[in-house]
Amino acid sequence: MRTYKRKTTRCSYTTEDLKNAVKAVNDEGKSVNAAAKKFGIKRMTLTRFLKKLNEGGDSSMGYTTPRQIFSPTQEDSLKKYLLQMASIFYGYSPKDVRRLAYECAAKFDIKIPPSWTANKMAGKEWLSMFLKRNPELSIRKPKPTSHASHPKSLNAQNVKVFFEKLAEAMDRYGFTAADIWNIDETGVSTVMKPNKIVAAKGKRNVGAMTSGERGTNVTVVTAVSALGNNVPPMFVFPRKQFKTHFLNGGPPECIGAGNASGCVTDEEFYHFMQHFIKHVKPSIERPVLLVLDNHSSHLNVKTLSLAKEKGVVMLSFPPHCSHKLQPLDVSVFGPFKKYCAAAKDAWLRNNPGKTLTIYDIPKIVADSLPFALTKINIVYGFQKTGIFPYNAHIFGEEEYSPSFVTDRSEPETIESEKDPVSSTEPYPTLCVSTSQVEPEAGPSIKKNETIDLRVFSPEIVRPYPKAGPREATKTNRRKRKAAILIDSPEKNALEE
């Protein structure tokens, strides 16, 4: 029976108990009855075991696993393969796993039931028992991940360049926890995702009141330090003309701005940089480090000039790596969104029949942001990202697994190569992508490697996916990477 559970401890002795009993009979001269009583074994069981050993049989006992297609070693190899495929974001569906099992059995001449051959896949029963024998595996619903963003950018080389730049800045200026800051923005919508509620069991449609079908976003910009301090936020409203009454009920000393989109542009970020300098009070004699992403509004020459003049050292993250490297993304904005949803829910209950508008957002943020901007959350974010305390090895190999598929060297450009010394291109090193290094060795089979079919390996049947060679480009388009933005080479190149 598949789900049978033992109801008694009868006959629960091990092979070791039987061997000790046999040793007592053969070496110590005890009778079968005495040895059986001493070790708690049935007399007839010990008699059969003695006879089996004396006739030259093996010492195995108990039930075997009849009709199991793959051996434990083969199933372990299959399990590791499935885990690796999931870690690089190319996991298999249950039906694909069943097809893979059939293909592996056919490739390695393993005896299979006729139904596998007829359907070209393993049965549902096999998959169910395979998952039960390997509790590390389960059927999960994956989160959609864009091919153009996180997987290819979060690789060991990009992260290494960032930490090298971070170490350079810390060694040059001697920054402490109070001097290291992070700036980022997030959107707060007038329409929230409803929280779970208690309703009738089995009812198919359960609703919750919201302010509308589609919400309007207000951007909130804030800054935090590795010591746990924070700067009052700035609100960017989707209005061309900003009015001070938009901020009624907002956090103390907050500021606001407005534009047609409600997103942060060069002008709004320059305004927030002035706000940041006013509260942090950096200087040339006592500079501060500001880590931030590579958003275009952060690369404005006017803002970089202000930062350099006031003693703000700006260090950018590699593109599409802020979900792992940015402290605000790691430990603050997640809790903030949850507290924000609870505050919106409370507002709707306290104002029945009314619609939540963008002018109510500052009050919502004032009620929820302090719960997320706690010292514990902020300090943990800097620790988790390895920024402070400095830890260049904060991420393990599993963090870089999704980039395995696209990790490959860059091709030469179609244009004739220019001497970097004599070239008229200003600061050509900025054109070098951090992915131009040779890719690290991955789990896939190397070219011209001899395949031993005697060793069971699902990778032989379905090799790990690997992107083809990069196509040669016609232009030397600059690719952003981690950089100290106020350094003269970087700043001059941006001005150019």
Domain segments of the chain as ranges: 1-63, 72-133, 147-194+211-496
In this predicted structure, what is the pLDDT of residue 28? 86
In this predicted structure, what is the pLDDT of residue 424? 33
Between CA 254 and CA 362 the distance in angstroms is 9
Residue 417 pLDDT class (50, 70, 90 cuts) = very low
In this predicted structure, what is the pLDDT of residue 452? 56
Percent of residues, the chain, with pLDDT higher than 90: 53
CATH of domain 1-63: 1.10.10
In this predicted structure, what is the pLDDT of residue 412? 46
Residue 482 pLDDT class (50, 70, 90 cuts) = confident
Cα 248 to the center of its chain, rounded Å: 38
Residue 466 pLDDT class (50, 70, 90 cuts) = confident
Please give the backbone phi and psi of residue 255, each rounded to the nearest 5 degrees, phi first: -125, 170
Query: pTM for this structure?
Result: 0.70
In this predicted structure, what is the pLDDT of residue 408? 58
Q: Which two tokens stand for residue 135?
A: 């509790």
Say what angle helices 94-107 and 72-87 make with each other, to 10 degrees.
Answer: 130
Cα 385 to the center of its chain, rounded Å: 12
Residue 89 pLDDT class (50, 70, 90 cuts) = confident
Examine the pLDDT at 435 and tell me if it is beyond 60. no
Stretch 268-293: mean pLDDT: 96
Best-predicted range by mean pLDDT among 237-241, 352-356, 432-436? 237-241
- The model's pLDDT over 208-217, given as tens digits with 9 standing for 90+, comes to 666 666 789 9
Of residues 311 and 3, which shows the higher confidence score? 311
Mean pLDDT rounded to a whole number for the chain: 83
Residue 323 pLDDT class (50, 70, 90 cuts) = confident
In 220-233, which positions are buried (b, 16+ CB within 10 angstroms) versus exposed (e)? bbbbbbbbbbbbbb
In this predicted structure, what is the pLDDT of residue 425? 35
In this predicted structure, what is the pLDDT of residue 432? 29
Percent of residues, the chain, with pLDDT higher than 70: 82
Residue 437 pLDDT class (50, 70, 90 cuts) = very low
Of residues 30 and 435, which shows the higher confidence score? 30
Superfamily of domain 147-194+211-496: Ribonuclease H-like superfamily/Ribonuclease H (3.30.420.10)
For CA atoms 107, 448, 147, 481, the dihedral sign is positive
Examine the pLDDT at 423 and tell me if it is beyond 70. no
- The model's pLDDT over 143-175, given as tens digits with 9 standing for 90+, comes to 877 655 555 567 888 899 999 999 999 999 999
